[in-house]
Amino acid sequence: MKQIPATPPVGSAASDGFSLSTFRESDIDEITRLLQTDAVTIDLAQLPLHYTRQHAVQYFEYLENLKQNQPEIASLKFAIREQCIGKPMGRIDVAPDVDGWKIGYWLGFDYWGQEIMTWACKEILAVARACGITKIYGQPKYGNWASRRVLDSRISKMSGDIFGLMNGILFVGEWKHS
Ligand SMILES: CC(C)(COP(=O)(O)OP(=O)(O)OC[C@H]1O[C@@H](n2cnc3c(N)ncnc32)[C@H](O)[C@@H]1OP(=O)(O)O)[C@@H](O)C(=O)NCCC(=O)NCCS
């Protein structure tokens, strides 16, 4: 897999008012605040329900370690930011998982319902595709309708020749008909 730059060359980032970039140590307090809303963490199996600043510090340290040891994996983990002031709003990544590459994301509660995650998914899928990743799993829990809508309804229809959803698997790049 190719390694990509920390800030991906995403065309629509500036015009949409959001950007994807690496996490910074200065994000820790805002990330903690955003993840202290149970509605955000309840469907995220890998996050504790009662999130503390120490969890955010540990995540930042994990990312720093990953950058040293597995930079190609670290380069697919992004903070979603407000473009103007750089404030973190959420997280999105594509990461190796048991069944292949898996997309994961969350957005601070205040930012829901503005199509921000639809935008972020589109951006990271283009980055993944540029890295040679052609198949990505998304596994929202049953009942997580917002997340299912993002992948099933919005992303899969966005551009038929780039993205497609088949049997719960999101294909990026070449659309494979069975
Ligand atoms: C899932 C999540 C990322 C969605 O982000 P978002 O920026 O609000 O999503 P978008 O605005 O791009 O699109 C959401 C779609 O879901 C719908 N939606 C939003 N909130 C909803 C809700 N509470 N119930 C049902 N549908 C909802 C929107 O109407 C839209 O569907 P549409 O295409 O019919 O208009 C956000 O709700 C979140 O961070 N949730 C907590 C973490 C999480 O569940 N992560 C995913 C784990 S798999």
Structure tokens that stand for 162 in this block = 């780039």
Has residue 151 been placed in a domain?
yes
Q: Cα(82)–Cα(165) distance, rounded to whole angstroms? A: 29
Range of the domain at 129: 13-172
Mean pLDDT of the chain: 82
With respect to residue 162, please indicate whether it lies within any of the assigned structural domains.
yes
For ligand 1, mutation pick of 80, 91, 112 (most atoms within 8 Å of CB): 112
- Other CB atoms within a 10 A radius of the CB of residue 160 amount to 9
Rounded to whole angstroms, what are the CA distances from 106 to 82, 166, 178? 15, 23, 32
Which range has the worst mean pLDDT, 10-19, 31-40, 44-53?
10-19
Q: Are 111 and 89 in contact (CB under 8 A)?
A: yes
Q: Is 103 in the pocket of ligand 1 (CB under 6 A)?
A: no
Residue among 150, 151, 153, 165 to mutate when testing ligand 1 (max atoms within 8 A of CB): 150
Does residue 113 sit within a domain?
Answer: yes
Q: Report the predicted TM-score, pTM, of the whole model to 2 decimal places.
A: 0.86
Q: How far is the CA of 130 from the centre of ligand 1 (A)?
A: 26
Tell whether 150 is covered by a domain. yes
The single residue listed with the structure tokens 């597995």 is 70
pLDDT the model gives residue 3: 55
Whether 78 and 66 have beta carbons less than 8 Å apart is answered as: no
Q: How many CB atoms lie within 10 A of CB 49?
A: 9
Residue closest to 77 by CA, chosen among 102, 52, 54, 99: 102
Q: Is residue 84 situated within a structural domain?
A: yes
In a domain, 40, yes or no: yes
Domains of the chain: total? 1
Over residues 160-169, the pLDDT tens digits come to 444 555 555 6
Q: How far is the CA of 149 from the centre of ligand 1 (A)?
A: 6
Would residue 79 count as lying in a domain? yes
Residue 96 sits in a domain of what CATH number?
3.40.630.30
Check if the beta carbon of residue 107 is closer than 8 Å to that of residue 80.
yes
